[in-house]
Structure 1
């Protein structure tokens, strides 16, 4: 019988390695369905919590934050695009791509978790698509409401949340909790409160880890 796993996935909507890691994990879970079953819960992490409303050009942001040259930034984007393609996800970076504030997206993801039924994971996927594949602004409330509706959630309820500060403190507390546990980069994937997998790993790496965990649990 497959072993039940609790998977906590700490990530940001604007993190390309997070969507690469999520797709890698999901592919690995499909491959290992004979030995594990999993419940994935998503938790907030903001790469740029002070990002201004209009966002910032990706190239300019990377140069300012990491000191990368335009050539290095372009090469990195191409490498990320390729890694995403390997797991069936389209990242369509351009020279005009921007980074945006993701706090309101995290508030909606927190709400979606409480709705059950896989809605949180569906919303997470849709937000990744909107930002990376469609190159749209995940801080725009109209865009967020569209994502909510696409994920099968209540648009009117989401509009009420966005018009208020509902779940803001919950998101901040969750961010502080994971930071206090040593999570300072994402994605961070924690399995059964014990095993940590960091970074946007490929499916093979996740599969090896999952099978190893399943074997260890079977021996316990």
Structure 2
């Protein structure tokens, strides 16, 4: 989908965000001469197109890192808020949800993932993603680089290794690989982070119906697993916000 300017109602209920972007841009500009591109991503941990979009976004950022500094923040979205915490088999769930189309969907995602050098794994369980969102939000307080690394580990584990997104051991292991400290203790209390996840949902995801969804410098919005070229065009356009 093409990117478009946000409507006036969105630009800027975020006055503080605007000030923050300008302040950070000046800071980065003084040090590196690069402009800051801030990317807010609404995503669910069991959305395959969110992994596709992340990989393409990473490519776009890597190819333009000499020109821009980037700050990526991940925000929660629930494709199925009522998904069971105990989990159900992926294939069984998708067959119930999509019927005869499920095998076509699996075949399509297998093709797309292979284009990224990944193998799409349909084994294992799927289910409620609240704990993953609690952990992602928690990681953001330790740095957005760590948060981004955690999202990567969760995606790869769930989509390519058959890991269950609700498994505490998997979540803690992914946090360790991403350098996030205190994950086990944080997740032990099921109430930790829930209020913040709900606040993030209201602020970033209440107006959308699907993911991945990106807001770039509070100005441009994109949805879907876009190719790197479209992200590059969006960076150039969004840089004019300063």
Give TM-score scaled by structure 2 length: 0.79
Task: Say if 1:186 and 1:198, in contact at 8 Å, map to a contact too.
Answer: yes
Q: How far 1:57 moved relative to its partner?
A: 2.9
Does residue 108 (structure 1) correspond to residue 120 (structure 2)? The answer is: no
User: 1:90 — aligned with what?
Assistant: 119
2:198 to 172, 187, 205: 172
User: 2:154 — aligned with what?
Assistant: 127
Moved more, 8-17 or 117-126: 117-126
Task: Say if 1:32 and 1:211, in contact at 8 Å, map to a contact too.
Answer: no
2:141 alignment partner, SS class: helix
What are the superposed Cα offsets for residues 170-197 of structure 1, whole Å, 9 maximum, x if unpaired?
10121122233x2221000110111101
User: 1:35 — aligned with what?
Assistant: 67
Aligned residue pairs, count: 209
Q: How far 1:19 moved relative to its partner?
A: 0.5
Structure 1: distance between partners of 2:103 and 2:69: 38
Question: Which runs of 5 or more structure 2 residues have no equivalent in the other structure?
Answer: 1-32
2:225 to 183, 200, 216: 200
Question: Which runs of 5 or more structure 1 residues have no equivalent in the other structure?
Answer: none
Report matched runs for 1:113-192 at 5 Å. Answer: 113-116=140-143, 118-154=145-181, 157-164=182-189, 165-180=191-206, 182-192=207-217
Instruction: Report the CA distance shift for 1:192/1:117 in structure 2 as closer, same or farther (over 3 A).
Output: closer
1:40 alignment partner, SS class: strand
Task: Say if 2:86 and 2:166, in contact at 8 Å, map to a contact too.
Answer: no
Structure 1: distance between partners of 2:35 and 2:115: 28
Moved more, 115-124 or 20-29: 115-124
Structure 2: distance between partners of 1:15 and 1:45: 10
Instruction: Report the CA distance shift for 1:57/1:133 in structure 2 as closer, same or farther (over 3 A).
Output: same
Deviant stretches of 4+, over 6 Å: none
Q: How far 1:97 moved relative to its partner?
A: 4.2
Instruction: Report the CA distance shift for 1:24/1:106 in structure 2 as closer, same or farther (over 3 A).
Output: same
User: 2:10 — aligned with what?
Assistant: none
Does residue 50 (structure 1) correspond to residue 69 (structure 2)? The answer is: no
Task: Say if 2:75 and 2:200, in contact at 8 Å, map to a contact too.
Answer: yes
Structure 2: distance between partners of 1:90 and 1:204: 23
Does residue 18 (structure 1) correspond to residue 50 (structure 2)? The answer is: yes
Instruction: Report the CA distance shift for 1:8/1:117 in structure 2 as closer, same or farther (over 3 A).
Output: closer
1:213 alignment partner, SS class: helix
